[in-house]
Copies of this chain bind each other. A is one copy, B any other.
Amino acid sequence: MTSSVPAPLRDAYDPEAFRATAHALMDQLADYLKAALAGGAMPVLPWAPPAVNHERFATSFPEEPARSDAFAALMARVLEGSHHLHHPRYVGHQVTAPVPLAALCDAVSSLLNNGMAVYEMGPVATAMEHQVLAWMASKLGLPASARGVLTSGGSAGNLTALLAARQAKAGYDAWNGGAHAGPPLTVLVPRSAHYCLARAVRIMGWGEGGLTPVDVDAHFRVRPDALEEALANATRAGRKAIAVVASAGSTATGAFDPLEPVADFAQRHGLWFHVDGAHGAAASLSPKYRAQVRGIERADSVVWDAHKGLLMPALVTAVLFRDGARSFDAFSQEAHYLFHGDGDDARPYSDVGLRTLECTKEMMPLKVYACLSVLGTRVFEDAITASYDQARRFADHLTAAPDFELAVAPDCNIVCFRHTPAHVPPDGWDALQVRLREALVTSGNFYLVQTRLPGGVYLRTTLIHPLTGDADLEALMEAIRSAARP
Residues of B within 8 A of A184 (CB): 178-180
Q: Is A85 an interface residue (CB 8 A)?
A: yes
Q: Is A50 an interface residue (CB 8 A)?
A: yes
Give which listed residue, B26, B176, B372, B378, contacts A26 with CB less than 8 A: B26
Q: A173 to B206, alpha carbons, bound, how many Å?
A: 11
Of A12-20, A141-149, A222-230, A320-328, the one touching chain B: A12-20
Within the assembled complex, what's the spacing in Å between the Cα atoms of A104 and B106?
9
The answer on a CB contact under 8 Å between A64 and B152 is: no
Structural contact, B29 and A108, CB atoms closer than 8 A: yes
Name which of A256-264, A292-300, A465-473, A478-486 contacts chain B. Answer: A465-473
Q: Are A18 and B29 in contact (CB under 8 A)?
A: yes
Asked if A124 meets B370 with Cβ closer than 8 Å, knowing A155-B359, A180-B180, A341-B195, the reply is no
Flag if B99 contacts A12 (CB, 8 Å): yes
B124 and A57 contact, CB distance less than 8 A: yes
Instruction: Let me know if A427 is at the binding interface, CB within 8 A.
Output: no
Q: Are A2 and B207 in contact (CB under 8 A)?
A: no
Looking at A180, A372, A389, which has the most chain B CB atoms within 10 Å of its CB?
A180
The smallest beta-carbon distance between A48 and chain B, in angstroms, is 6
Pairwise interchain contact A111-B121, C-beta atoms closer than 8 A: no
Provide the residues of chain B in CB contact with A338, threshold 8 Å. 195, 198-199
A443 within 8 A of B: no
* B174 engages A205 (CB within 8 Å): yes
Q: Are A83 and B379 in contact (CB under 8 A)?
A: no
Say whether, besides A85-B114, A377-B62, A390 and B3 are in contact (CB < 8 Å): yes
Per the bound structure, the CA–CA distance linking A3 and B196 in Å amounts to: 35
Nearest CB of B to A175, in Å: 5
Interface string of A51-90 (1 = CB under 8 A from B): 0011011110111111000110011011101111110000
Given contacts A126-B50, A130-B54, A452-B343, contact A85 B64 (CB under 8 A): no
Which residues of chain B are near A173, meaning CB under 8 Å? 207
A280 on the B face (CB < 8 A): no
Stretch from A30-38, A241-249, A265-273 that touches the partner = A30-38
> Contact: A470 with B3, CB < 8 Å?
yes
Cβ contact within 8 Å between B102 and A110: yes
| In the complex, residue of chain B having the shortest beta-carbon distance to the beta carbon of A3 | B470
Residues of B within 8 A of A85 (CB): 112-114
1/0 contact trace for A125-138 toward B, CB 8 Å?
A: 11110110001000
Give the chain B neighbours of A205 by CB distance below 8 A: 174, 178-179, 204-206
Among candidates B98, B121, B126, B159, residue contacting A53 with C-beta atoms closer than 8 Å: B126
Question: Which chain B residue lies CB-closest to A313?
Answer: B110
CA distance A202 to B180 in the complex (A): 12
| B451 x A113 contact (CB < 8 A) | no
B107 A29 Cβ-Cβ under 8 A: yes
Q: Which of B62, B81, B376 contacts A376 (CB 8 A)?
A: B62
Q: Which residues of B are found within 8 Å of A65, using beta-carbon distances? A: 374-376, 379
Candidate in A46, A114, A359, A362 with the most chain B CB atoms within 10 angstroms: A359
Whether the pair A61, B22 counts as a contact (CB closer than 8 A) is: no
Query: Is there a chain B Cβ closer than 8 Å to A334's Cβ?
Result: yes
Contact of A451 among B53, B202, B342 (CB under 8 A): B342
A1-B397, A205-B178 as given contacts; A155 in contact with B357, CB under 8 Å: yes
Q: Which residues of B contact A10 (CB under 8 A)?
A: 466-467
Write out the residue numbers on chain B whose beta carbons fall within 8 Å of the beta carbon of A97.
13, 113
Q: Does A404 contact B (CB under 8 A)?
A: no
- Tell me the complex Cα distance, A61–B96, Å: 22
Contacts of A451 in B (CB 8 A): 342-343
Minimal beta-carbon separation of A455 from chain B (angstroms): 12
Q: Does A221 contact B (CB under 8 A)?
A: no
26 CB contacts below 8 A, A to B, read A1-B394, A1-B397, A1-B471, A8-B375, A12-B99, A29-B111, A48-B123, A54-B130, A61-B376, A63-B378, A78-B124, A82-B124, A85-B113, A93-B360, A103-B111, A152-B152, A153-B360, A178-B205, A180-B207, A194-B359, A195-B339, A198-B338, A203-B204, A204-B204, A252-B342, A342-B451
What 5 A-B pairs have minimum CB-CB distances, sorted nearest first? A178-B207, A205-B205, A1-B470, A19-B30, A179-B205
Other contacts beyond A77-B124, A179-B206: 20, CB < 8 A = A3-B393, A8-B376, A9-B382, A12-B466, A18-B29, A25-B104, A50-B127, A53-B124, A53-B127, A54-B130, A59-B369, A82-B123, A97-B113, A103-B107, A120-B447, A153-B358, A155-B359, A178-B202, A178-B209, A179-B207
